[in-house]
A = this chain, B = another copy of it.
Amino acid sequence: MSLITEMTPAALRERQEALQQAYDAYKAQNLKLDMSRGKPGAEQLGLTAELTAAVDFAADYKAEDGTDTRNYGVLCGLPETRRLFGEIFGVSPDRVIVGGNASLTLMYDYLATAYMRGVCGGKPWAQQGAIKFLCPVPGYDRHFAITEFLGIEMINVPLTDEGPDMAMVEELVKDPLVKGMWCVPMYANPTGITYSDETVRRLAALRPAAADFRIMWDNAYCLHHFRDTHDKLLNIYAEAEKVGNEDIVLMFTSTSKISFPGAGVGALAASDANLADIKKRMTVQTIGHDKMNMLRHSRYFRDLAGVEAHMEKHAAFLRPRFDVVAKALSNNLAGKGIARWTDPNGGYFISVDLLPGTAKETVRLLKEAGVVLTGAGATFPYGRDPQDANLRIAPSYPPVEELTVAMELFCICAELAAVNKLLTA
C-alpha cells in the first residue's frame, strides 16, 4: 500500500481505472441504502416494545405522589421521572425538568427565549447586536440549524480528541458578544470522542465577558456505550458548582436512543437561577408535558441501573455495525494517505476526514450508486466545511449485510474521488 500523494501519474491512472470498474459494478446493482441519519434500526426499536404496555392505564394511572398522570398539570415532570433523569445527569432530581419527546426542542426553546426575552433578567440577545456562538467542529447539524435560525453568528472551534480547543475558547469568550457554545461532550456527534477531564474542568471554570453566556451541554449519548471499554465523562455541573459557576451550563439528554426516537422523553438539568428563568417561559408555553409517557418510562426502566442494563441490548446491535465500518475503512483506506477516521467506544457516528476537496464528490458518487450519506458540510455551521473533507457515517440503521456493501462502496468512492482530484489538480 503506498501513499496516494506519492504515486506517479501513470500509477494513479491505473488505480483510477480499477476503481472506476469496481464502482460501475456496484452501480449496476441498483442499491438503495440510507446511512444519512443516526436512526436506530428496527430491531433496536423492538427492544422497548414492552415499555408501551408498562402501565395498565385502565387500572393504574397515578404517579408515586398520587398525581393523576392523565390530567393537566405538573410543569416539571413526575417525581419518579425527575429522579431517573437526576441519576442520569448526576444531579439532584429537583434540578431536572422533564420535557416532551425531544431534547432538541428543549434546546431550541432555551435559545429562542434567550433571544426574545433574555437570560435570567438580562437584555434579550435580539437587542444586543451581532451576537455569536461557539461551535466545535465537526459537530451536529441540528444544533447549527437552531443558532442559524436565530440569526446568531457561528464561530468554528476545532474539536480535538480531548474536546474543543480550550485555549481558543478561553480567548473567544473575552468578547461579550459571544453568548454560548454547543457541546456534545460524550461520544460526540460525529467524531465519537469524549471530552477529557481537563476540558470539562476548564469549561466549568470559564469566565466569559458575557454574563448571559451559556454552555449547551447536549449529553445525548451519555449511556450509549457499545464496547467493553466505556468512556467516562466528568460531571460538568459538579465541577461548575465547585467554583461557584453553576449558572454557566444547561444539561440536556433524552431517551430518544434508549426507548423510542419519536416517542421518548427529553429532559434538562440546570442551576436554581436557570430553572427559575426556564419555568417563567414554560408556564406560558404549556400546562405540562406528557406524564403518561413519563410514567411508562419510569415504570419500565425504574432507575439508572435499569437503563444501563437495557443499553447493553442496544450495544449488541450497534457493535457489529461499527465493526463493519472500522474494518472496511482499515482494509481499504489504511496507509493510503486518503483518510483519517475515528473508532469510538459509543454513540452513533464515525467521522471520516478525507483528502481535502473530496467529501462532496464522495457523497455524490455514493448517491449516484444508491447510497445516501449525510451531506458533505453538514457537520459544519452553515453547511460549509472549509476543507470539504469531513463526512459523517451513521451505521445504526441499515442491516449489517447492507452496511457491509455500503462501506465497501464508500471506500471505493472516497479513493476514486481522491485519485480523480489528484489527476485533475
Spell out A's residues near B (CB within 8 Å): 37, 39-40, 42, 45-46, 49-50, 52-53, 55-58, 61, 68-74, 100-102, 104-105, 108, 112, 115-117, 126, 142, 145-146, 149-150, 256, 260-263, 281, 283-293
Interface contacts beyond A70-B260, A116-B150: sample of 5 additional A-B pairs, CB < 8 Å, sorted by A = A37-B72, A52-B55, A104-B285, A146-B285, A261-B287
Closest 8 CB pairs of A and B: A49-B58, A263-B292, A52-B57, A72-B261, A45-B70, A149-B284, A108-B285, A263-B290
Task: Among B42, B52, B145, B291, point to the contact of A292 (Cβ < 8 A).
Answer: B52
- 9 chain-A/chain-B pairs, Cβ below 8 angstroms: A46-B58, A72-B262, A74-B262, A100-B101, A105-B286, A112-B112, A116-B116, A149-B284, A262-B289
Assuming A104-B285, A284-B146, is B68 touching A57 (CB within 8 A)? no
In angstroms, Cα B188 to Cα A24, docked, is: 66
Asked whether, in the complex, the Cβ of B281 is within 8 Å of the Cβ of A149, the reply is yes
A286-B104 in contact (CB<8A): yes
Q: What is the CA–CA distance of A104 and B72 in the complex, to the nearest angstrom?
A: 12
One of B58, B101, B108, B261 near A71 (C-beta < 8 A): B261
In Å, the complex CA distance between A142 and B49 comes to 37
Nearest CB of B to A77, in Å? 11
Residues of chain B within 8 A (CB-CB) of A292 are 52, 260, 262-263
Shortest Cβ distance from A421 into chain B, in angstroms? 33
A145 near B290 (CB under 8 angstroms)?
no
How distant is the Cα of A261 from the Cα of B49 in the complex, in angstroms? 25
**Assembly CA distance A308 to B70 (angstroms):** 21
User: Contacting A263 at CB < 8 Å: which of B104, B146, B293?
Assistant: B293
CB distance from A339 to the nearest CB of B (A): 28
CB-defined contacts of A260 to chain B, threshold 8 Å: 70-71, 292
Residues of B within 8 A of A293 (CB): 263, 290, 293
CA distance A71 to B40 in the complex (A): 7
Tell me which residues across on chain B come within 8 A of A37, comparing CB atoms: 72
Beta-carbon contact of A50 and B58 below 8 Å: yes
Q: Which residues of B sit under 8 angstroms from A71, Cβ to Cβ?
A: 39-40, 42, 45, 260-262
Contact of A290 among B142, B149, B262, B288 (CB under 8 A): B262
Determine if A262 and B70 form an interchain contact, defined as CB atoms under 8 angstroms apart.
yes
Interchain nearest-CB distance for A201 vs B (Å)? 32
Do A290 and B290 have beta carbons less than 8 Å apart?
A: yes
Which residue of chain B lies nearest to A289 when distances are taken between CB atoms in the complex?
A: B101
**What's the nearest-Cβ distance from chain B to residue A31, in Å?**
20
Least CB separation from A113: chain B residue: B112
Q: What is the CA–CA distance of A60 and B256 in the complex, to the nearest angstrom?
A: 20
User: What is the distance, in angstroms, from A182's C-beta to the closest C-beta of chain B?
Assistant: 14
Q: Are B263 and A70 closer than 8 Å at their CB atoms?
A: yes
A287 and B102 contacting across the interface, CB-CB below 8 Å: yes
Closest to A41 in B: B71
Other-chain residue from B46, B149, B290 in contact with A117 (beta carbon distance below 8 A): B149
Report the Cα distance A286→B58, complex, angstroms.
31
Closest to A150 in B: B116
A283 to chain B, nearest CB (A): 7
Q: Give the residues in chain B near A105, CB-CB below 8 Å.
A: 285-286
When C-beta atoms are compared, the residue in chain B nearest to A288 turns out to be: B262
Taking CB as reference atom, which chain B residue is nearest A291? B262
Inter-chain contacts of A73 with B (CB < 8 A): 39, 262
A286 to B107: give the CA distance in the assembly, Å. Answer: 10
Least Cβ–Cβ distance between A102 and chain B, in angstroms: 6
Q: Is the pair B50, A68 in contact by a Cβ cutoff of 8 Å?
A: no
- Chain B CB count within 10 A is highest, among A150, A284, A286, A289, for A284
Which residues of B have CB within 8 Å of A126? 116, 126
* A179 CB to nearest B CB, Å: 15
Residues of B within 8 A of A291 (CB): 262-263
